[in-house]
Amino acid sequence: MGSTHATRTSHLGIPWKATLAFLIVNGHWALPPARSENQVNVASYLTTIDLQDQEDDYEWRIGNNSSANYMTRQVYQELRGAHPTVSWSSAVWIKRGIPRQCFLTLLFVLNRCPTRDRMIGWGLQTPPTCLLCNLGIETRNHLLFACPFSFGVWNAIAARCSLAATPDWTSTLIRMQTLPIKSLTSQLSLWCWQATIYSIWTERNSRLHRNTFRSQDSLIKQIDLQIRNKISSLRPFSPRLSSSLLQLWFSTE
């Protein structure tokens, strides 16, 4: 049914641009025989509607609200139901964030990533030691950032944002979600935090699946380049913001 031609019909025989008038003949509904209980209910309801000589029109009704425009957000919220805002949302769904990094951060906040301690809990036979330092047990809290390797990366990146890095996951998360709102330093800090999480997890997976290894300096340079590219991508839309962020980032080199 990809064509928009006026005479194109669906496999049900209904014209592509059919309106309600298509189902009305001589002022009466001309409905096909019902083949299910739901169709019977629809046909019964239609017989209660008074037909008028007006153009067809429609509205979207969600709960007790109606609108002429369809909004996916409203439909999603209606289907999901109301939930209170979690305290960490501001650290996960960040302004101008990179979607894949925001989503991975969400998985780590919920402790849903397949770290080795979780895999062992599922009954899988796997070594428990961290793939980055080969010292501690690989857990979410160890990777972020009790592991000496990952903390070395985070410590270097946090210093660029004037943050005092800590190897404790809970303390770091609280720090990220209590950063001052609308601060350029806060914007950089959240980007860097999520980029560090993403780089560490990617390095961990590369060592596991490809047997390739990168140094701390290599990851730090990669994160630095990614932040520069992120800031530069803002220039076409907000030159002043891009310049301010670049100046702030370069000033901490």
Q: Residue 79: its pLDDT value, please? A: 84
Same domain, 58 and 145: no
Q: Residue 5: its pLDDT value, please? A: 43
Same domain, 126 and 203: yes
Q: Residue 164: its pLDDT value, please? A: 92
pTM over 0.75: no
Residue 12 within any structural domain of the chain: no
Q: Residue 12: its pLDDT value, please? A: 53
More confident residue, 107 or 80: 107
Region 52-66: mean pLDDT is 77
| Cβ neighbours of residue 116 closer than 8 Å, sequence gap 6 or more | 126, 127, 128, 129, 130, 131, 137, 138, 139
Same domain, 149 and 246: yes
* Interatomic CA distance for residues 239 and 211, integer angstroms: 42
Same domain, 75 and 146: no
Same domain, 62 and 137: no
Region 107-118: mean pLDDT is 97
Asked, as a colleague might, if the bond just before 145 is cis with ω within 30 of 0, I would say yes
pLDDT above 70 for 155: yes
pLDDT above 90 for 42: no
Q: Residue 1: its pLDDT value, please? A: 36
Q: Residue 66: its pLDDT value, please? A: 80
**Burial per residue of 135-151, b for 16 or more beta-carbon CB atoms within 10 angstroms, e otherwise:** ebebbbbbbbbbbebbb
Name which of 52-56, 64-68, 191-195, 216-220 the model is least confident about.
52-56
Same domain, 134 and 154: yes
What is the average pLDDT value for the chain, to the nearest integer? 88
Domain of 204, in residue numbers:
89-250
Same domain, 105 and 159: yes
Domain total for the chain?
2
Same domain, 37 and 112: no
pLDDT above 80 for 150: yes
| Cβ neighbours of residue 92 closer than 8 Å, sequence gap 6 or more | 102, 105, 106, 109
Q: Residue 166: its pLDDT value, please? A: 95
Residue 119 within any structural domain of the chain: yes
For residues 90 and 189, the answer to whether their CB atoms sit within 8 Å is no
Using the structure block, give the residue that is written with the tokens 């410590």. 155
Same domain, 61 and 119: no
pLDDT above 50 for 3: no
pLDDT above 80 for 37: yes
Helix (H) or strand (E) holding 3: none
3-state secondary structure of 62: strand
Q: Residue 116: its pLDDT value, please? A: 97
Same domain, 192 and 171: yes
pLDDT above 60 for 8: no
pLDDT above 60 for 91: yes
pLDDT digits (tens, 9 = 90+) for 229-239: 999 999 998 99
